[in-house]
Amino acid sequence: MARVTRRCGSGIVALKVLAVLALSCALSVCHAYDCLKCEACQLYQEQLFDIHCRTGVVTELDESEGNVCENEHFWHLSEHAHSDELKEACEKVHEEGTRGAWNIFNGTEVDCDSHASHQLLVEAKRNACFYALGVCPDLALPQKLDRARTDCELCDAVISKIAGFLSRYELDHISDYRIEGLLIRKLEDEYFCSADFDKDFFDDPDLGSTEDIQQYCSAYVKKHSEKIIASFLKHKSKVMEVLTELCPAPCDLNEAKEEL
């Protein structure tokens, strides 16, 4: 569920390394406790969002109302953890009072299908999981933009979405046939490139939306689906290698975009 962005251009190698490390933490099979807590924190905020949008307005939740860790089948939301592990991490997040990340929005009307409301969720995730708890790396959570996303940020967004889906499965322990089938099903899903990007990334400031990611995703997947499948079959859960191959430094995708 965690996401990462990178910058393009010369002299940004260090940022690329940091970004890949953050994405590896967020999207590969996760053993470090903070990785699990990072995911639990984001899932926790998503569940609080569901509560607020069902009532139609953000209100301050007491400890009982905000204890979404007790929700039935909550663990099914996890990309990495089994039920007991995720519940324990969620409970620690709950004990820290991170439901308070929503208090700055008290009185704000919310709608489950509203783009503006989805952007509140993105902000709440960052406020709670990076600023308040510090359980997620800076680069593993989206940041507000004052510029258009670069080509490699767009590429990373698309590939991280695919990697997040695949990380629900132990790629090193299932057949290539099944991995290929999972990827084909996801890439051929007509809703994949339009689904929930505005719950995971801040808007492009000029567009006022995440349409830039959605358009890039549609074009990239249409042109390079075979390349995507081949890369994940080759590298499986080694996210660094997948990123390097599919979003090559220095992230100059102009040629690829012209082909698209």
In this structure, the chain runs to a length of 260
For residue 252, what pLDDT band results from cuts at 50, 70 and 90? low
> Position of tokens 């939301």?
77
15 vs 163, which has greater pLDDT?
A: 163
* pLDDT given at position 165: 79
Q: Which pLDDT value is given to residue 187?
A: 93
Q: What is the pLDDT of residue 64?
A: 83
Query: What would the pLDDT profile of 163-192 be if each residue is shown by its tens digit?
Result: 877 876 777 788 999 999 999 999 999 888
Report residue 228's pLDDT band, with 50, 70 and 90 as the boundaries.
very high
Chain CA centroid to CA 71, Å: 22
Phi/psi of residue 201, nearest 5 degrees: -135, 150
pLDDT band at 138 (very low <50, low <70, confident <90, very high): confident
Of 49, 55, 27, nearest in space to 119 by CA: 49
Q: DSSP letter string over the chain?
A: --------STT-HHHHHHHHHHHHHHHS---SHHHHHHHHHHHHHHHHHHHHHHHTB-----TTTT-GGGSTTGGGG-SS--HHHHHHHHHHHHHTTGGGGGGGGTT-B--TT-HHHHHHHHHHHHIIIIIIS--S-GGGS----SSPPPHHHHHHHHHHHHHHHHTTS-GGGS-HHHHHHHHHHHHT-TTGGGSSGGGTSPPBTTTTBSHHHHHHHHHHHHHHHHHHHHHHHHHTT-HHHHHHHHS-TT---HHHHHH-
Tell me phi and psi for residue 109, to 5 degrees: -70, 140
Indicate the range of 34-38, 181-185, 204-208, 226-230 predicted with least confidence: 34-38
Give residue 243's region: left, alpha or beta (phi > 0; psi -120 to 50): alpha
Give the span between the Cα atoms of 118 and 108, in whole angstroms: 13
Domain-by-domain residue ranges, the chain?
Answer: 13-24+144-259, 33-140
pLDDT band at 75 (very low <50, low <70, confident <90, very high): low
What pLDDT was estimated at residue 152? 87
**pLDDT tens digit sequence for 116-132:** 899 999 999 999 998 88
